[in-house]
Structures are given as structure tokens and as C-alpha cells.
Amino acid sequence: MPVANPLAYRLGQRGGERNLNRNLAPTTSPQDYEDHVANWLCPLLAEHEVLLDLHSFQSPGQPFVFLGPTDNDGELEPFAHAAREEALARRLGVADAVDGWLSTYALGVARRRQAPTGDARQQALNGDARYGVGTTEYMRSQGGWALTLECGRHGDAAAPEVAYRAILNTLAHLGMVDAPDPQPQPLALLSLYEVVDKLDDNDSFAREWTSFAPVRRGETIGRRADGSPVSAPDDARIVFPNPRAQAGQEWFYLAKPSHRR
């Protein structure tokens, strides 16, 4: 599927009327463009076993892959195909991986419930425990497995080649084309553990951050609209710094080296 969100693609922005990769699920009462997309996209995902979702991001940074959780029977994201995801992730042609998406996002949802922002529709979305569910999370909820490949900065001329190589490697690894299985490569793995929202459209970063840039405990990452600093609580790596984020939406994430084996 070359374009999952035609309206956002046509407008040249992350979402049409909202972010498609949040609170993704079929609905009997669609309220926005992305709800209509979900009503044909979700059944398509549910009919399949594996998803490779190709993304770009806003700030400078290197390509990386998002892994799902380890195998578990918990309430948030029960899963049983971690080994399959890890095996494919090591064959996509990137050197870095990140996990911990949904559990970290749930922390942000809990905070948003305590301090709601935006109109009634946005407040309802922000406070929904499923708001962190996008294509890969929905795929796992239907019994499949999935990876999100962040191919590079939006508009980077190298990003399409990253995506194309990953598609070919995926088809070969799954035995869908007559080609040898690519050799697995090592991955440096980080785990998300914190998400920080933009509270005002005038919140700003202290400098241009790139994904995986190190931050030191106490270092100023940005400033709120009133001038108060937003400082790193720990030594960490910054992920998905988004200077174009809207108030009430995720501004950046923090990650640490993973203990996952």
C-alpha cells in the first residue's frame, strides 16, 4: 500500500484531520477522515499475518526500526511473536532499534487525563488508553506481528532507498521471492521510558535535536512558553524530537539502553 493516508499525503503533513497512527480501530460512527481510513485499513491488516510499516520523521536522524514488546500475557499488549519480529528487524538494513512504545505512551495518556487540553474531540482521544495504538499495535492485537521502519527524515533523498531495501529483504526473509535470506545484522537497542508533551504552541527546543542524540541529566532540552526550562531527568537519548508538534501532543521521547536480550 503506497499511501495509507491520502489526505495527509496530499496536504504534505503528518495527519489529515488527525494522526492516523493513534487510536487506530474500526468504528461504526466515524468522526473524521482518519476514522474512515481506519474502517478500510483495519480489516485489511486483520486479513494478513505480517506488517512492515514504512515511516519518515520530522527532525534529522538515522533510520531505525520499532520493535514490539517481548512475549507476555499482560493486559496492555499481550504478544507471542517477539522472536519473529526480532529476526526480521535484524534483516532490514538498519543498525538501531527501539521498543517500549505502548507502555511509554500509556504514561502520557495518564497525564493528559489529569490536565486535558484541546477541544472535546481531542480530549477524548488524548484520554483514551488506546490512543497509542497505531498500525503495528493493531496488527498485534489481531494475532499478527509487525515492525515500523523509520526510514529517515521526511524529504531525505536516501529514505526511499532505505525503504526499498527493507521491502526486498523482508520478502526474501519471508520466502515470498526467490532470493536468499539476508544475513542477520546486530542491532543497538534502546527502550523508551518517558514522553514529554508540548503544552503550548510556543514551547521551543533549546537547539535542533536529532533522534538518538545523548542528553545529560539536568541538561536543558527546551523551554516552555513562559520561559521555564524542560530539563533531562536522567542521562538518556532523545527520540522523535518534533518542533512542529501541536499543544497537547507528544513533543519528544527519552530512551535508555535496553536490557532486552
3 state DSSP class of 222: strand
Cell triple for 215: 542528553
pLDDT for the residue numbered 114: 72
Cβ contacts of 80-85, under 8 Å, gap ≥ 24: 81/140, 81/144, 81/145, 84/50, 84/145, 85/145, 85/146, 85/147
Q: Supply the mean pLDDT for the chain.
A: 92
Full-model pTM: 0.90
pLDDT(255) > 70: yes
**246: nearest Cα among 203, 208, 190:** 203
When pLDDT is cut at 50, 70 and 90, the band that residue 231 belongs to is very high
Cell triple for 260: 532486552
* Cα 90 to Cα 205: distance, rounded to the nearest angstrom: 33
Beta-sheet pairing, 64-66 with 236-239: unpaired
* CB proximity list for 44: less than 8 A, separation 6 or greater: 1
Average pLDDT over residues 24-53: 96
